[in-house]
Chain A
């Protein structure tokens, strides 16, 4: 962990607290472990929001979370004494009961902590360069994911235009998958639709999705045998420099060649207005 002018001893000058439903390997790497009952994250966060403002909380409500009032008070005390606090959260919050409400509660706790000291919250991203995909989609379309271009301009609605929703509804008649394996993780109706339609996969490895696709194109691995950029979860871009040569083309090269081939075909959209001044 980096040292700094104000934390010259690096990790030793920091306090790490882990909140999880079971003692994972990370618990050993942390100074404090708090075991929350499954599905009680929202309650625990809300209690912390009350405690930082010196509001009363019922002992029963605290007991239900699996964390004691004493532990909560100790945590609040440490948070307020911190010079700079950071809360990281992941799918344990966003994909369990309450979903985005849990994330919203945690972000609110971080916001409210700024009345006492500097505090931030940041999502821990999962697979590879998912942050990079988010960042590029945002600058090109305004939205991070769940985007449709079916009217010729970007629209956004997670739950309607997210990949899994489009596939489950059977709304797409072809699929182009780059560096992901939905065949291993998505619900069965989505996988069934991928098998039904022409699916093209670009991946350095043969994946579950490759096996149900019509075409699999093996590409070189970014950062090992292909150059590129990966965005860290704090949205800082890191250059990827290849150490090895690969006989396979890069994802970029394959996409570029497909795009050039499509450009030679007749354009599918009628030429009409260049711009609409207000969306309906």
Chain B
């Protein structure tokens, strides 16, 4: 039991903007009143719901491959020393599992969504997630390059495709559907890509990326998944890709969707020399289409490692940088590429990317539609989020940073014209209440009675980055996990999964296809429920 008194409460889910109120916690949830237990005097402090990361890569085959590829970063980065109650670990570009939990909680984030899980290695992803302490977790399973699903869509078998997608979600013990470069990763197995929404995909006679976008979004809606299709558009990172992105959004045909890391999808120009920001166009689309949400995928200057299921893009990035390149192909399902990368302010393309991420956060008017993310670790590491908050809240600081960019950037970006500054209420929306709602996790990002008592308490500080990097208290499920900069407790988090309903005949349909094409026995493929640590099955509300 816990009572928090005197703090200024920022709770956008309930429209509370900086009022001094009391919060009561009982049995891990907010309560109307409480008798006994500890009281935290939060007078002069700021109280937020715990942060929610809608799009991050913290567990599974890809980030684990990135860890293997970057020992030189592990050697220089922050290290967590073991104690009787804490495991050791390393931070840096691709933190280890225990350190991931400590770092997220350490800055007040209490829920994360691992945004790219292949079904074939979902068992591995869940084992890693089980080793990430404190935070609650959700996952999205990769579907837009799965050859069985693609074959069904090509043949116009929508109903069966819907059943198969539902079957896969449950097999992977996942929470939502991720689409990465629809058709492009399947084409990459031929060394090709899929850049045009309306051209047939390599290896298919008529199926196009646009068809996949429309139908997968419809499947997610029809299955009533709490989180809509989580979409990584085609043509990521390429100059002039704004037309592909807008075309993709139109292919949603009114269905819900969450657009991942929009920063990488909002460029104009025909080549790298001509590249420019096209955030005004993209933000306008979001401002007029409330059915879609996005996360920024903002870029911060410095070292990182890029990992994505977008294999062809990673091959291009390897050719551009000449740095290490790792590639994984996941049988009939998906693929993945890994390239370490350094974003430099002196590099025109990187400077534009830095501006584009911030522009989207500033130009999309509704903070319930655009969320804080760096597409960790692609645009920067998640533990650098407080730097983005500072850039959003302080126009002067932003302008100072702008002076360090190359002169050639003039006329290519909109950022210098923007004087909007985020309020604390808007930050609380973009880092917690908004992403929680987009994920369909209504018990998260909400300080209302009955919701999960995940709270972050900051000492008010003019140095915004310092304030958001070092919360005074972090409370997860009613338990104080961080106090005065020390980790006090490391409870296990929950894992959110869904069980959408599907035709019981789906097993019979899939089994012969498996026996022909997969290298794993059909019976061994689905993740067993017993392997899940602290699963919480959330409801689906199918369209009738």
Contact = CB atoms under 8 A, between A and B. Distances in A.
Interface of A: 2-6, 83-84, 111, 114, 117-118, 120, 134-136, 138-144, 149, 151-156, 229, 231, 234-239, 263, 267, 269, 271-279
A274 B88 CA distance: 9
A132 to B, nearest CB: 10
B508 interface: no
A87 B300 CA distance: 37
A95 to B, nearest CB: 20
Nearest 6 pairs between A and B by C-beta? A153-B79, A152-B81, A118-B191, A142-B74, A153-B88, A237-B123
Contacts of A154: 74, 79, 88-90, 96
B124 A235 contact: yes
Interface stretch (B11-19, B63-71, B227-235, B342-350): B63-71
A138 B78 contact: no
Interface of B: 59, 61, 64-65, 67-68, 71, 74-84, 86-90, 92, 94-98, 102, 120-121, 123-124, 127-128, 131, 147, 151, 188-191, 203, 315, 318, 325, 327-329, 332, 486-487, 516-520, 524, 528, 531
14 contacts: A4-B516, A5-B203, A6-B203, A143-B67, A155-B75, A229-B123, A229-B127, A235-B61, A236-B120, A236-B124, A236-B520, A267-B84, A271-B83, A274-B487
A239 B120 CA distance: 12
Given A138-B67, A274-B86, 19 more contacts: A4-B516, A84-B190, A117-B191, A118-B189, A140-B131, A142-B90, A142-B92, A149-B82, A153-B79, A153-B82, A153-B90, A154-B79, A234-B328, A237-B124, A269-B82, A275-B78, A277-B78, A278-B76, A279-B79
Contacts of B90: 141-142, 153-154
A4 B203 CA distance: 12
A139 B131 contact: yes
B332 A4 contact: yes
B83 A269 contact: yes
Chain B: interface secondary structure? mixed
Contacts, number: 146
A159 B317 CA distance: 32
A142 B91 CA distance: 9
Contacts of B94: 142
B515 to A, nearest CB: 9
B89 A140 contact: yes
Contacts of A117: 191
Nearest to B118: A236
Given A118-B189, A141-B96, A276 B78 contact: yes
Given A236-B120, A236-B520, A267-B84, A139 B59 contact: yes
Contacts of B87: 140
A114 B191 contact: yes
Contacts of A151: 81
A11 to B, nearest CB: 13
B517 A4 contact: yes
B89 A153 contact: yes
Contacts of A234: 328
A218 B203 CA distance: 53
A275 B81 contact: yes
Nearest to B58: A139
A67 to B, nearest CB: 27
Nearest to B75: A279
| Among A134, A142, A143: residue with most chain B CB under 10 A | A142
B397 to A, nearest CB: 23
A234 to B, nearest CB: 8
A54 B90 CA distance: 45
Contact of B524 (A6, A144, A239): A239
Contact of A275 (B79, B127, B128): B79
A138 B64 contact: yes
A156 B71 contact: yes
A111 B325 contact: yes
Contacts of A235: 61, 64-65, 121, 124, 328
A139 B524 contact: no
B470 to A, nearest CB: 12
Nearest to B486: A274
B127 A143 contact: no
A125 B121 CA distance: 18
Contacts of B67: 138-139, 142-143
Contacts of A138: 64, 67-68
B88 A149 contact: yes
B287 to A, nearest CB: 41
B501 to A, nearest CB: 25
Contacts of A267: 83-84
Contacts of A3: 516-517
B518 to A, nearest CB: 7
A160 B175 CA distance: 43
Nearest to A144: B68
Given A152-B81, A272-B81, A140 B96 contact: yes
A154 B81 CA distance: 9
A142 B71 contact: yes
B524 A238 contact: yes
A118 B105 CA distance: 41
B325 A83 contact: no
B80 A274 contact: yes
A142 B127 contact: no
A117 B65 CA distance: 23
A275 B524 contact: no
Contacts of B95: 142
B88 A139 contact: no
Which of B75, B81, B102 has the largest number of chain A CB atoms within 10 A? Answer: B81
A62 B424 CA distance: 69
B303 to A, nearest CB: 14
Given A4-B332, A153-B82, A276-B79, A140 B124 contact: no
Nearest to B329: A120
Nearest to B332: A4
A5 B189 CA distance: 13
Nearest to B82: A152
Contact of B528 (A134, A153, A239): A239
Q: Which of A5, A156, A237 has the most CB of B within 10 A?
A: A237
Contacts of B78: 275-278
Contacts of A4: 332, 516-517
Contacts of A236: 120-121, 124, 519-520
A204 B83 CA distance: 32
Contact of B517 (A5, A136, A155): A5
Nearest to A155: B75
A198 B96 CA distance: 31
Nearest to A114: B315
B74 A143 contact: yes
A2 B521 CA distance: 12
B71 A143 contact: yes
B151 A5 contact: yes
